[in-house]
Amino acid sequence: MELNYIFFILSLVFVALTVFSMMGGFSVMMKGGEENAKRSNKFMQLRVAFQALALVCFAAAMFTS
């Protein structure tokens, strides 16, 4: 298996994690409350991290092809 395929698969995994963390953040945000606001913020921080990792893996897949 070539290296660019591994990076491409990893980028798809991180895209899926981005979607799940975004949905989790939205569901917690809809409940409201102070504690839920903190949890929602944590979900959104995870979303940004997963999004960055997906972009890095996608760029690595393009550069190794």
Predicted TM-score (pTM) of this structure: 0.86
Whether 7 contacts 60, CB under 8 Å: yes
Instruction: Locate 63 and state its tokens.
Output: 């550069």
Q: Which pLDDT does position 26 carry in this prediction?
A: 87
pLDDT top residue among 64 and 37: 64
Coil/strand/helix, residue 27 = helix
Tens of pLDDT, residue by residue over 2-59, are 888 999 999 999 999 999 999 998 888 888 777 788 888 899 999 999 999 999 999 9
For residue 1, pLDDT over 80 is answered with no
